[in-house]
Structure 1
Amino acid sequence: MTKKISVTLMFLFAFSFLTGCKSTPVANLEGEQIPSGLTEAQFVKAVTEAGHLRGWVIKKESDGHLVGDIQVRSHYAAVDINYSASEYSITYKDSENLKYDGERIHRKYNQWISNLNLDIQKELRMLTL
């Protein structure tokens, strides 16, 4: 009976440890569509405004390249936003206190990227109405 309880407790501990892990593979977004007919200035403005809604600071590095930074409490993330006339990508650049190990990162990072992308898409749609 004691062995059965020990095995059960070990299983529960392992299960709670695995489900408690908060890291996930880094989500890079590639090939996100930009509606036709928008100028570069309109795109940059849409991304900047979308980022601002969620606390991102978006800066233009060069033609076709923006950098976004966000600071949430002690957590920091930076992304590259590369774009052409028809599409853009959001890729990992840097982070602090998000347990990035080269492949995996705290799950909040992917939520931040997903929300940023949703807001960018919303801003772009508003420009085409």
Structure 2
Amino acid sequence: MDSDSDSDTDLEKDDENEVSTLKHVTKKFMVYRAGDQSCDYNKTMIYTEDIGDLYMFLGHSQAFCVPASTSPGLKPNCIYFVGRNFGVYDLTTKTCTTFHKDDECPVTRIEFPYWQFSL
């Protein structure tokens, strides 16, 4: 799974020691599935734009898929992510929606929830 970038702001100093603001914006995700094993036991990774009835949760140190048909309110073929921000990427429409607070600032890494599921 590759992400083009995470969304948040960083400060950077230029050559004249002036501070400027950089904004990172999540644009897309690229999803790969494991293909067949080759004779040297390596799996081939195959790009896909469809994960079917699944939705995927991506966090800092974990990723997992769940059937959307078992969870009303969550969309199939979507990636719900946390990182520098909190949002959802729709693989069907190739659109990314970042969740915002009332003041229209993105929810930052300090404020977002981690995915917590009991196994």
Q: TM-score range by the shorter chain?
A: under 0.3
Higher helix share: 1
Q: TM-score, normalised by structure 2?
A: 0.27
Larger-Rg structure: 1
Higher strand share: 2
